[in-house]
Structures are given as structure tokens and as C-alpha cells.
Amino acid sequence: MSGHSHWATIKHKKAAADSKKNKVFSKHARAVMVAAKQGGGDPDTNIKLQYAVEAARADNMPRDNIERAIKRATGEMEGVRFEEVTYEGYGPGGVAFLVETLTDNRNRTASDIRKTFETRGGKMGAAGSVGYLFERKGVIRIPANTTTEDDLMMAALDAGADNLTREGDHFVVTTGPTELDKVRKALAGKFKIEAFEMMMIPKDFVKVDAEVGRRLLDFMDVLDELDDVQKIFSNFELPETVAP
């Protein structure tokens, strides 16, 4: 199983078991606000907002919360301004990490991220230090018990997808960064789409041993607890003996 697959699985399980709903909703609200601020408050014409709203709904964020976030972004309600900042660096074992954040204070966020890297045996790098190791891709998750691989493969490729893989109890369709919405719409009428998002997929993967693997999982958990952190991507491959 690939490194990005492990992290996708980890995120999925974590979201399902996460009882800290206020923190989860806060992160979604930030994503919705930034998307609405950049492209307007109508999800039908703002693809980025559409993705943010769908992700919020997938975590059962109340509709009122989503609407308030959009209104704050479009000036209908007073709110804090957030900006997108991506931090790069190396975690335990020299593994590459990209950390996507939404922040209202760059200095605070940079300090928090740097401290987490350093206290967990890593080092935060400059912009571009590891970004070249990843590619931005669209990712669509479909429950494997709702279709056959052959049927989904044919439909996905016809719609313009790059690839289809099986990861646990899901099929994962990957697309180019500008093809996600087109492929998603083509598949939505025939298949049950559980989630879709933009991800940074590693070009190659680094195999780690069990000890480093456990340190990496701990490192990601600590990063994910930071309020400003939205998404974490890495290029490591866990050994089968380490469960995500």
C-alpha cells in the first residue's frame, strides 16, 4: 500500500472516530471561508467552495455553520480573514512532508509548525524544499461493495480519469488537477461517491521500518491537532506490521 494511501486511510478513520467536533467544524469553516472569499459564495460556480462544502457535510457539519462561514467570507457577516499557507519539511526518518494550513497569523502558525517538526525529530524547510516530490491530483473515493472494478474502471477512464486503485474497502479514482470536477460529475450519476478532494500525491515512496513508522504516525497526529492545519501529505510507506 502506498504512502498516500496510508494517510488517506488514516484521515478517513480519524475523521470517523474524532469526537472533537468543534475543532473539526472550525477547520471546515476556515476552508469554506477562504474558498468563498476567493471565488464567491455560490458553490455552483465556485468549484473550490463546492469541494469545501462537500467535505464539511461529510463530517456532518450543520448547514447553518456552513452558511455562516460563507456569509462571513462574502462580507454579509463580520469575520476573521484567513489565508492559505503551505509549509514543507522533513519528519522523522528524513521523510518529506507538506502541511497545508489556513491561518490568520502567519508568524504564529510558522512557529507552531516549526516547533512540532523540531520536537519530533524533523526539520522545517524553505518553500520548494520538498514540494517537487509531489504532484497535485484529484482523488475520488467510492465504496468497493457498491460496484465492480471493471465497471468503474471503464466509466472512470471514459470520463478522463488517470487511474483506479483498490485501497481497503474503497476504490480510489485519481484525476489530473483540472479534471476532478468533470470526472466526479460523470461518475456521480452511476456510482456512490463517498468523498472527493485535491491531494498532493508522492511521485515516489520511501519505505520505513516499524519504529520510524510509529514515530511518523505520532508526528502526524500532533500536527493534525494544530488548529491551523488543514491537510498533511507525506511520501512514506508503512510496513504491514504498523497499523494506521
Tell me, yes or no, whether 20 and 57 share the same domain: yes
* Helix and strand numbers, DSSP H then E, in the chain: 8, 10
Q: Please determine, for residue 12, whether its predicted confidence score (pLDDT) is greater than 50.
A: no
Structural domain total, the chain = 3
Enumerate residues 6+ apart whose C-beta is below 8 A from 89. 96, 97, 99, 113, 117, 122, 123, 124, 125, 129, 130
Between the alpha carbon of residue 114 and those of residues 66, 108, 165, 186, 226, the distances in Å are 31, 10, 35, 42, 12
Cα–Cα distance between 97 and 150 in angstroms, integer?
Answer: 34
Tell me, yes or no, whether 60 and 148 share the same domain: no
Cα–Cα distance between 208 and 97 in angstroms, integer?
Answer: 14
Tell me, yes or no, whether 37 and 67 share the same domain: yes
Tell me, yes or no, whether 19 and 100 share the same domain: no
Do residues 212 and 88 make contact, with C-beta atoms less than 8 angstroms apart? no
The CATH number for 51's domain is 1.10.10.200
- Look up residue 46 and give its three cell numbers: 465556485
State residue 240's pLDDT score.
81
Expressed as residue numbers, the domain containing 184 is 134-202
Tell me, yes or no, whether 111 and 230 share the same domain: yes
Do residues 121 and 208 make contact, with C-beta atoms less than 8 angstroms apart? no
Bridge-based pairing state of the strands 170-175 and 163-167:
antiparallel
Tell me, yes or no, whether 176 and 193 share the same domain: yes
Tell me, yes or no, whether 54 and 163 share the same domain: no
Tell me, yes or no, whether 168 and 114 share the same domain: no
Confidence at 16, pLDDT banded by 50, 70, 90: very low
The CATH number for 116's domain is 3.30.70.980
In a domain, 49, yes or no: yes
Averaged pLDDT score across all residues of the chain: 88
Query: pTM score, two decimals?
Result: 0.79
In a domain, 244, yes or no: no
Cα–Cα distance between 225 and 23 in angstroms, integer?
Answer: 9
Q: What is the largest CA-CA distance in the chain?
A: 52
Cα–Cα distance between 72 and 68 in angstroms, integer?
Answer: 6
In a domain, 88, yes or no: yes
Taking residues 101-123, report their average pLDDT.
95
